[in-house]
Amino acid sequence: MADAKVIPFDDDRSRGNAVQRPPRRGRSVGSRRPGGEPARVRETGEVGDVQPLPSRTRARDDASVPHDVPVPHEDQRPGEPEQQRPVDDGGLEGRVAAGLAFLRRRLTGDYEVDDFGYDAELTDQVLMSLLRPVYEKYFRVDVKGIENIPTDGGALIVANHSGTLPLDGLMMQVAVHDHHPAGRHLRLLAADLVFVLPVVNELARKLGHTLACAEDAERLLAQGELVGVMPEGFKGIGKPFSERYKLQRFGRGGFVSTALRQGTPIIPCSIVGAEEIYPMLGNAKTLARLLGFPYFPLTPTFPWLGPLGAIPLPTKWTIQFGRPIPTDGYPPEAAEDPMLMFNLTDQVREQIQHTLYKLLVQRRSVFF
């Protein structure tokens, strides 16, 4: 391992087991004896002697009524459709029981996390539930091309990055989680800044995020995971509003080298709508250096309105996944070919940029 060459991913380091619901529970309302008559059920649950039903519910003699014809409900009027007896499916009780079981597992530590800290159960049951209203009601995300993501096996999703705050990565996670037929989960590669911030660090790990480096990306792809990367890094989310939807440099193509080593397809992804949630009009560089941030945004609302200025604008989003670019047809030494990496990187970048322009032409309004 000492001779292994580590290739940096970029210059900018930029469902588990769901709780099973209890089975539906309902009272048995009766049984049918061979003669076709419903049997009376005592309170003990045992079948008693057959007692004739009232005359208005016995439309004809049993000998003339086929056994598969249902006997009308005693409150049913002639000519009315058959009434459905309400069945107690234990919906509320089931949800309460599932919630208590979830809390018990969390308190007793009876749950699993992988080597990267990903907590599948917490993500499915809690974190996705918190992100979903923002995804569905606030940004009203439209998803296109979800069928381009493979049902199984490793794949690398490469997307544009924008929005001042990296909400686009979270919305992309929800899109894959909720719309993919196989219910796949996207493991995002995040900047090292994410993992030094309190609270954010823990939540990112639980959601399946990991450091944006070649080693972690290759391990996840080798395990058949779906990995997401945004090669623009801070250059993308920190660019001024005047340069919106213009892709920045894609690093040194480390993501292409990783995909070539694992033979996994590269799926370009274009996100429209995130650029306008925090229109960045300026950058307080001195304040950013003091705080240790790559930039300090100045928007029409932040920091002038205080905490209220941190609320994003409710823009309308579109996320489109493009056709996969295969990498399994290249020889193993192709990962070390700089010209090939440059060509593939440029191909991915151009495909994302072209799709962005196409979606912008089709968009009627920023907010509707």
Q: What is the DSSP letter of 130?
A: H
Output the pTM of the full model: 0.74
CATH number of the domain residue 219 falls in: 3.40.1130.10
- pLDDT score recorded for residue 82: 47
228 in any annotated domain? yes
* Nearest to 256, CA basis, from 264, 246, 244: 264
CA dihedral 269, 272, 277, 283 (to 10 degrees): 70
52 in any annotated domain? no
78 in any annotated domain? no
- In the three-class reduction of DSSP (H, G, I as helix; E, B as strand; rest coil), residue 233 is classed as coil
Read off the tokens for 99: 């919630």
Maximum distance among all Cα pairs of the chain, rounded to whole angstroms: 94
- In angstroms, what CA-CA distances link 166 with 81, 169, 189, 255? 55, 6, 12, 19
48 in any annotated domain? no
- In the three-class reduction of DSSP (H, G, I as helix; E, B as strand; rest coil), residue 43 is classed as coil
d(CA 365, CA 359) in angstroms, rounded, equals: 11
319 in any annotated domain? yes
What is the tally of structural domains in the chain? 1
pLDDT tens for the 368 residues of the chain, in order: 444 444 445 544 443 443 343 343 333 333 334 444 443 433 334 434 444 444 433 333 444 444 444 444 444 445 544 444 444 445 788 888 888 888 888 888 888 899 999 999 999 999 999 999 999 999 999 999 999 999 999 999 999 999 999 999 999 999 999 999 999 999 999 998 999 999 999 999 999 999 999 999 999 999 999 999 999 999 999 999 999 999 998 877 789 999 999 999 999 999 999 999 999 999 999 999 999 899 999 999 999 998 899 999 999 999 999 999 999 889 888 888 889 999 999 999 999 999 999 999 999 999 98
Sign of the Cα pseudo-torsion (273, 275, 276, 278, in order): positive
190 in any annotated domain? yes
66 in any annotated domain? no
d(CA 296, CA 238) in angstroms, rounded, equals: 8
101 in any annotated domain? no
Sign of the Cα pseudo-torsion (278, 280, 281, 287, in order): positive
Burial of 56 (C-beta count, 10 Å sphere; 0-12/13-18/19+): exposed
| Cβ atoms 288, 295 nearer than 8 A | yes
d(CA 209, CA 190) in angstroms, rounded, equals: 6
Domain enclosing residue 225, as ranges: 108-277+312-362
